[in-house]
Structures are given as C-alpha cells and as structure tokens.
C-alpha cells in the first residue's frame, strides 16, 4: 500500500544566497528539485504550496526585536548575522517562506491530505536561537513548526528528531523547559556548535524531554540504526507523540565535506523507516521532515531520494534488515547507548 507523500518546493528558496563558495548554496536545492522534476519521480508526490510564516508564528519562537532585525536586512546587500550566516536582499522573505512552507506541510499531514511530507526549503533552521542567527540558520523552521502544531492544532506531544551532523542548539533551547516537545538528537561531538552533551536533558518541567546522543566521527548506518532502535524507539513509544517532526540533515552522508560520519543513502532510508514505524504505532503515520544540512550535492540528492522512496513505501526496509544492520554495529557504540540509557533512566523505560 503506497503512501501519499507531500513535497514543499519553490524556486523562491533558491533566492537566498550566503555568498560565493558558501557550503549552504542554492545548488543544494536545485539538484534536489531536478531529481523531483524527473519524469520518473514527479508524478509520485503531492505538491504543497508554501506561504510566508506569520509574525505570530515567528514570534512563538523568536523575539520581536530579532524578527525586526532580520526584517531590516530585506533589500540590503550582504549582512553578516554571525561568522557563518549571511543574508542577501531576499533572505528575510525566503526565511519566512521556509518556516511557513514547513507549517503548511504540517497542516497537510494533520488534515490527512497527505500521509507524510518533506519540506525542501532553505535557509535551514535548527541552529537559530530565539534572538540570534547561527550556523547558516535564520529562523528555526522545525521549532516554529512544533509550536504551530501545538498552538494551531492543539497537539500536546510533539517529537522532534534531529539526525543532522551538528547539534540543533536552537531547537533544544526553544523547548528546554517544555514537556510538550521531546527533542532527540544524534550529532558529532564535540563539534560545532559545542552544545549537545549527554547531560543536557532539559530543565524544570522539561527535564527528561531532551535526549542527546553525542558521537565521535565515523558512525555509519549500523551504528545510527542501533541508536534509533535502542534509545529513540522505546522513548518515543512511551512518549506517544501526536506528530513526528524531523530535522533532516544529510551532512552525516559518508562523503560530506563538513563531517566525518559514514551514513549511506540506504542507511538514511532505514532511519526513515524506524521513524515511520514509530509514527504508525503512535500517530497514524504523521511525520513531517524539513531539510537542514547536507553539503555533498550528489550525496544529498541520492540520500533525499532514498528517504522519499521509503516515505512512499516503495522500499520498505524490513524488521529483518534493520536487525541485520544492528548486528553489524561497531561494539564501541554499545557504551554510548548504555551511557545515554543510564542518563535518561529516571525518565524513560529502556528495554
């Protein structure tokens, strides 16, 4: 039984430019769009029209002063927001379109117009803090989407999974005190942005609702799949999310120039299958992904294609295949899994 998968794509996302030779380039999306427009692919998806995020949607995560500051860059030449994050004249509009496009994808999944969706937008978002741009990110798309699900659709439990190479500091900080959002991140550590230690588990009412799995470089398909199966899956099934949002960073691809992880397109598809299994168990399959990093353009495109084929149910990585991956995981990953399990044991039952 194939699924109906929605896609957010729009040529306006190519208008944001961080400058010559910047890794977060319009070419990233241009290559994905070319793949999606291929006659073998284009008929498979339901296109979701993006829109600009409203002031209220942005202000659910970002401070009014910060939103005004970014608005002030509209029409300006190159404005440096931080050492890595630069605006062009169209960046404010494009960043609003990225956040709003993701919110529309969430709407379409919640109303049942599509089963799941992927928002292929830029600029990315998960490093953006309430009052600061960071790490190529201007507005925090996934955090804005999570608040949209809570405020517009009355969701009580949102799971945000972040498999990007870099820790989503902005997303973590947005919900650090908030038990409505469970934030789960795997990331290379210690590495940019320096956050995401295992002991960062939330604060106050949100304690236990942040789960960080910091990793050395070199983890590949089997290690990631084992982490997702041994930590994420039991925690998520206990949390019982009403929707799953994914910060889909493809910079853990094995040839990515910014990282040293070893994930293949098949590995990405298997990780998506684990998320789909959780979504099927908890929330009628409701799952919405948004693009974050991924700087090897061919690898990004191949990996996104594999993920989409899984979302459509064309590949359907089986439980046996997932178990095979797990069996091949490097033994060293076991100590990380047991350390994370011990850290979150007061909050979640694992195994």
Q: Domain residue spans in the chain?
A: 5-344
What positions carry a catalytic annotation? Answer: 127
Are the CB atoms for 191 and 274 separated by under 8 Å? no
pLDDT of amino acid 350: 85
132 to each of 23, 31, 56, 200, 223, how far by Cα in Å? 20, 29, 18, 21, 33
**Backbone angles phi and psi of 145, in degrees to 5:** -65, -40
pLDDT band at 212 (very low <50, low <70, confident <90, very high): very high
- Rounded to the nearest integer, the mean pLDDT of the chain is 98
Report the pLDDT averaged over residues 235-243: 98
Residue-wise pLDDT for 322-342, tens only, equals: 999 999 999 999 999 999 999
On the question of pLDDT at 34 being above 90, the answer is yes
Residue-wise pLDDT for 112-121, tens only, equals: 999 999 999 9
Give the percent of the chain with pLDDT over 70: 99
Residue-wise pLDDT for 264-274, tens only, equals: 999 999 999 99
CB neighbourhood size of 153 (10 A): 15
72 to each of 53, 67, 97, 110, how far by Cα in Å? 17, 9, 16, 34
- Eight-state DSSP code of residue 52: P
Helix intervals (H) in 175-260: 221-227, 233-239
CA angle 323, 324, 330 (to 5 degrees): 100
pLDDT band at 111 (very low <50, low <70, confident <90, very high): very high
pLDDT of amino acid 152: 98
Report the pLDDT averaged over residues 4-18: 98
Ramachandran area for residue 346 (φ above 0: left; ψ -120 to 50: alpha; else beta): alpha
Are the CB atoms for 162 and 170 separated by under 8 Å? no
| Whole-model pTM over 0.95 | yes
On the question of pLDDT at 1 being above 90, the answer is no
Residue-wise pLDDT for 155-192, tens only, equals: 999 999 999 999 999 999 999 999 999 999 999 999 99
Query: CATH topology for 5-344?
Result: 3.40.800
On the question of pLDDT at 275 being above 80, the answer is yes
Are the CB atoms for 142 and 290 separated by under 8 Å? yes
Report the pLDDT averaged over residues 134-161: 98
Residue-wise pLDDT for 35-78, tens only, equals: 999 999 999 999 999 999 999 999 999 999 999 999 999 999 99
On the question of pLDDT at 351 being above 80, the answer is no
């Amino acid at each position: 039984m194939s699924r109906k998968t929605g896609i957010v794509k729009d040529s306006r996302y190519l208008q944001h430019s961080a400058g010559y030779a910047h890794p977060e380039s319009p070419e990233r999306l241009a290559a994905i769009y070319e793949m999606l427009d291929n006659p073998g692919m284009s008929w498979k998806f339901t296109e979701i029209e993006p829109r600009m995020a409203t002031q209220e949607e942005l202000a659910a995560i970002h401070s009014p002063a910060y939103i005004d500051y970014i608005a002030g860059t509209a029409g300006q030449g190159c404005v440096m927001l931080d050492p890595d994050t630069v605006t062009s004249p169209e960046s404010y509009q494009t960043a609003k379109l990225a956040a709003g496009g993701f919110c529309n994808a969430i709407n379409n999944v919640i109303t049942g117009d599509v089963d799941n969706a992927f928002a292929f937008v830029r600029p990315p978002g998960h490093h953006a803090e309430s009052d600061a741009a960071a790490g190529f990110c201007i507005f925090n798309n996934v955090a804005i989407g999570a608040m949209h699900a809570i405020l517009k659709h009355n969701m009580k439990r949102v799971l945000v999974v972040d498999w990007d190479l870099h820790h989503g500091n902005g997303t973590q900080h947005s919900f650090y005190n908030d038990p409505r959002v469970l934030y789960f991140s795997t990331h290379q550590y210690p590495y940019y942005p320096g956050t995401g230690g295992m002991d960062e588990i939330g604060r106050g009412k949100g304690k236990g609702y942040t789960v960080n799995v910091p990793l050395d470089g070199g983890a590949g398909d089997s290690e990631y799949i084992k982490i997702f199966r041994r930590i994420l899956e039991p925690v998520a099934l206990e949390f019982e999310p009403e929707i799953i949002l994914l910060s889909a960073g493809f910079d853990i691809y094995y040839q990515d120039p910014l990282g040293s992880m070893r994930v293949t397109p098949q590995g990405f598809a298997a990780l998506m299958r684990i998320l789909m299994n959780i979504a099927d168990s908890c929330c009628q399959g409701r799952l919405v992904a948004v693009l974050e990093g991924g700087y090897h353009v061919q690898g990004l495109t191949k990996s996104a294609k594999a993920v989409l084929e899984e979302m459509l149910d064309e590949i359907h990585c089986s439980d046996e295949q997932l178990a095979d991956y797990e069996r091949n995981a490097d033994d060293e990953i076991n100590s990380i899994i047991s350390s994370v399990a011990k850290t979150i044991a007061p909050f979640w039952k694992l195994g």
